[in-house]
Structure 1
């Protein structure tokens, strides 16, 4: 999870804002931030790393792509603000598309606005009520509030531990049984969802790898988005912050952080402040699908269990997990978990009710953004109470990786007594969402290291030390947490956030690559690098309010070939990144470069080759002049 918070929540974060500043969790968050845009190559960057473009090819296509109206084709790009890096990449893409004869109009908005007004779409079926989600319905009918063609500043979690968890991104927009994240309206050329389902139950690693290699090959071929980079996370801490366990899951033990000398014993001190570039969208665990929101809620709720840097289960609410056949998994809760607001002890009844009446509710009355986790195809996954504190998830097929999947890993629950108040009332989902219980997390009890104090939108989220924290007497957690207060402070400008970190106003923040060496050299701060599994993407809107030519695979492919990924990695991100070509990083054991088609590098980069592909595949009423 970002911002050294309890990492298990990142398994819920399908999407992540890029370049806004954050501390890495299981997969990390993409940092960056170039204040000096003069370093950005505008000539393709081929000389910087030996990657030769095809710019020297000669064609007679012309310099301007003209549409049916006789005017130059101009695409609208929305990008998330808060980081100079994201803005610089947007400007670079604009320049690259200019070489293709395509104009680009840039619009910068806050990340949460980009999600709500551009990514989310609305659809009203003939026999139902209007619904809004990241894949509300067929691409011809479900459109976003604001028009867009290209979207930048968003990352997709690639889940290298459990790659079949990427399924919500690549489920066709025609499937509406569960909520998914295909906001761009992609229709796969092959049954990606089916392949992922098959891979998820395959116990032979070689066969599983072969299936997944095909998935990532199809994605690189189809280019539903331009997969352009996986960044390295640069996590900045004040030098006196101790207890950090560096690694891909940095932050899983954030309850054990303390302020003091290296090698010293922890003790309770003042406040810990995390500098953030993006505020939360919601505190409703049912509707959270972004890291910023998960970070805030995660201070007050631990979730079921976490995973450490070696993929070992770290028990939290769930004390033990038992399975004999890798198909039926029994989860046993600790016996000292107490809800707040008078809802009593957390029991298996809470979990079974929450799974069946929220996650698996056919009409998705609560607006659950993660429903697909709890279905196998069209069928809900059976869940059965086996004791007062235990329940069993009964998978339809063997799944040896289930514990590491974003289903129970880091899963939340709400009190049955709270949810059932709204289950069968009109507009119950919105009424629950607007309740004091959700807005102020009054039900959290002893279930997290901190309790909600206040949330000033776009400013600060403050939580105070929970004196009744259930882990406090558990070995390894003695006396945790070690701060009287934990807060997320939002800075609209990256420079202001970094200045606050330099002066010690904030305890931790994400460091842009352009400033890494500075903070590495300061005696008062330290920078820890972690691998990043969030794939930075440039999304192509294939829905009805996007450029209709984006529905043609070859057009998307040509646009991806027209952007030099090496320049982005080497010149804009200062080398703190790796070029991406599909939805899996090369460090993943599931990546097979023999299956992946490359774009934006070598012979598959350049204006000439991209323009020719556009000319060959655009509809006949387009042409170059």
Structure 2
């Protein structure tokens, strides 16, 4: 789901569980050549009929046994298991075995994606890029990871930097959990593009970045899907568009054309629970959604890319380098922390986001640094503060830095700042676990969280936005809850009977709910790129560190089959970390894999034979 301040195509959330298509089986998903296909435009079929010439049918490793890779996939996605089975089938044609392990999305993040590193003379640290790939490894071994999406930030693509910062550079937290070392200085190219005011030059720089990513294949970029948002027919106030749900506070129940009025509860059905309610440690969608009910954040954007002011009342800049943010004067923390002021923000930015030791475990630290130096932040008034960028950045307001940014009260954070294990103690505090500090800062207030079951928030009677035109008496529901359903069939049944008001639909069921008198379906583009991650760390298959091996594995999976047969056309093929509809995508610089002539089992096997170490052979 997308939230008013957690608009997923462009907000802070980096990772998302994907696989929202239908429950297609493997029957018919053979990836056979489409003789009428054009070849290399994403609609071609490629070939898997060749046997690799004189190469054998089984890839043997140094021990003389078939090479078998371990794939972990998220059970939260609605087609992820089917896609995993299909990729296993495709790799079988390359002579490679695959062992599948399905786990909940949050388990996949904590046990497989997160890694741990113990530097000499330093304290052990854990993050999504804890240290060098030879030394920082995850709790559970894996070679391939499926069911995860990377935010592509099509409006501000330089925001993808945390994904592609080398694992050797970790002064700030990044998201390179797979241990990728770029063949070129991608981080530097993104930094240069960020400050470039000439749009043509910026376009060229970004196109080069996406070309390098498609060449290096650190992951298999295989799909951009479409979100199918299911609503009960009587839910009104929805504004369809890329940022659907940005105004969810204004939803109401009634007849089309009717006026807003108070009603009972609103329920959203999901397959994945939150991981944490700590804004410092959130980088997944489910957690963001829960917290966003109680905290609006700084500001967001509507479907026309116009700023929607939330906690922030105004943004001023004369030079596109120094940005002053002014807070509303009616913002009140809960828990006796008083008014939200610039002191809270300056302290939070400096002592959490920019803390050299990252004591609080901030997962978004890299946003607040430029060239490994903290971005200067100064208080300019009781309710205003200025962010002073080292270079001009015309897109700063649209980046996941202040857009939707949250804050904690200074009085809360400073209690733990210099305490041993303060980050974990703050994380475990009642204030964080029950969001007692939220005051009047969101449309709802925390009521209860039953893990893997339900998250409930009650209407905030003191909601600050009621002083703003258009938000009179919002929200229009007495409570809002996220209901977690372990089985998709149960979730769909609850939607059909009206037990839940909103959910993301599988593509196989979209037509059914479009035709029902009681429900409606709204399509929105999804800016999260579905990827198959290749583990290039020490606990992954060591051959994955070779670019050509990764390229061969990507060439050997038919993306067209995934898009058309499994996800039933509610998606488009991906080749790099940017959708084709983005202004920054340049098809001429992107190397394709998995479609047309670039889907070829025989060529993939030959590429493996030519680039695997001498201890590997086909039989």
Q: TM-score, normalised by structure 2?
A: 0.98
CA contact (8 A) 1:40 1:572 kept: no
| Alpha-carbon distance, 1:52 to partner | 3.7
| Alpha-carbon distance, 1:306 to partner | 0.5
Of 57-66 and 521-530, more deviation after overlay is shown by 57-66
Q: Following the alignment from structure 1 to structure 2, what is the Cα–Cα distance between the partners of residues 80 and 526?
A: 28
**Aligned residue for 2:204?**
210
Q: Following the alignment from structure 2 to structure 1, what is the Cα–Cα distance between the partners of residues 377 and 309?
A: 20
Of 22, 28, 47 in structure 2, the residue corresponding to residue 33 of structure 1 is 22
Q: Following the alignment from structure 1 to structure 2, what is the Cα–Cα distance between the partners of residues 442 and 377?
A: 36
Q: Following the alignment from structure 1 to structure 2, what is the Cα–Cα distance between the partners of residues 406 and 523?
A: 39
Q: Following the alignment from structure 2 to structure 1, what is the Cα–Cα distance between the partners of residues 258 and 126?
A: 51
**Aligned residue for 1:427?**
421
After superposition, give the CA deviation of every residue in 1:411-454 in whole Å (9 maximum; x if it has no partner).
00000000000000000000000000000000000000000000
2:587 match: secondary structure = coil
Counterparts in 2 of 1:621 and 1:454: CA distance versus 1, 3 Å: same
CA contact (8 A) 2:4 2:300 kept: no
| 1:429-508 mapped onto 2 (5 Å cutoff) | 429-508=423-502
| Alpha-carbon distance, 1:44 to partner | 3.6
Aligned residues: 612
After superposition, give the CA deviation of every residue in 1:86-141 in whole Å (9 maximum; x if it has no partner).
00000000000000000000000000000000000000000210000000000000
CA contact (8 A) 2:2 2:243 kept: no
1:616 match: secondary structure = helix
| Alpha-carbon distance, 1:5 to partner | 5.0
Q: Following the alignment from structure 2 to structure 1, what is the Cα–Cα distance between the partners of residues 444 and 127?
A: 31
Q: Following the alignment from structure 1 to structure 2, what is the Cα–Cα distance between the partners of residues 283 and 48?
A: 51
Aligned: 1:42 with 2:30: yes
2:324 match: secondary structure = strand
Of 544, 552, 564 in structure 1, the residue corresponding to residue 538 of structure 2 is 544
After superposition, give the CA deviation of every residue in 1:143-177 in whole Å (9 maximum; x if it has no partner).
00000000000000000010000000000000010
After superposition, give the CA deviation of every residue in 1:260-310 in whole Å (9 maximum; x if it has no partner).
011111011000000011000000000000000000000000000011111
| Alpha-carbon distance, 1:377 to partner | 1.5
Aligned: 1:407 with 2:401: yes
**Aligned residue for 1:53?**
46
Of 276, 290, 293 in structure 1, the residue corresponding to residue 270 of structure 2 is 276
**Aligned residue for 1:25?**
none
After superposition, give the CA deviation of every residue in 1:320-352 in whole Å (9 maximum; x if it has no partner).
000000000000000000000000000000000
| Alpha-carbon distance, 1:42 to partner | 1.9
CA contact (8 A) 1:327 1:397 kept: yes
1:570 match: secondary structure = helix
Q: Following the alignment from structure 2 to structure 1, what is the Cα–Cα distance between the partners of residues 408 and 236?
A: 33
Of 492, 515, 525 in structure 2, the residue corresponding to residue 521 of structure 1 is 515
CA contact (8 A) 1:258 1:267 kept: yes
Q: Following the alignment from structure 1 to structure 2, what is the Cα–Cα distance between the partners of residues 183 and 607?
A: 28
Q: Following the alignment from structure 1 to structure 2, what is the Cα–Cα distance between the partners of residues 261 and 48?
A: 48
**Aligned residue for 2:361?**
367
Q: Following the alignment from structure 2 to structure 1, what is the Cα–Cα distance between the partners of residues 443 and 31?
A: 51
1:468 match: secondary structure = coil
Q: Following the alignment from structure 2 to structure 1, what is the Cα–Cα distance between the partners of residues 611 and 77?
A: 35
**Aligned residue for 1:62?**
56
2:577 match: secondary structure = coil
Aligned: 1:16 with 2:16: yes
**Aligned residue for 1:111?**
105
CA contact (8 A) 1:40 1:92 kept: no
Q: What runs of 5+ residues in structure 2 fail to find an aligned partner?
A: 39-43
**Aligned residue for 2:139?**
145
Of 368, 382, 389 in structure 2, the residue corresponding to residue 388 of structure 1 is 382
CA contact (8 A) 2:554 2:594 kept: yes
| Alpha-carbon distance, 1:4 to partner | 5.0
2:464 match: secondary structure = coil
CA contact (8 A) 1:234 1:516 kept: yes
Q: Following the alignment from structure 1 to structure 2, what is the Cα–Cα distance between the partners of residues 612 and 516?
A: 41
**Aligned residue for 1:578?**
572
Q: What runs of 5+ residues in structure 1 fail to find an aligned partner?
A: 20-30
Alignment RMSD (CA, Å): 1.1
**Aligned residue for 1:312?**
306
Q: TM-score, normalised by structure 1?
A: 0.97
Q: Following the alignment from structure 2 to structure 1, what is the Cα–Cα distance between the partners of residues 226 and 250?
A: 24
Q: Following the alignment from structure 2 to structure 1, what is the Cα–Cα distance between the partners of residues 252 and 565?
A: 37
Q: Following the alignment from structure 2 to structure 1, what is the Cα–Cα distance between the partners of residues 435 and 168?
A: 36
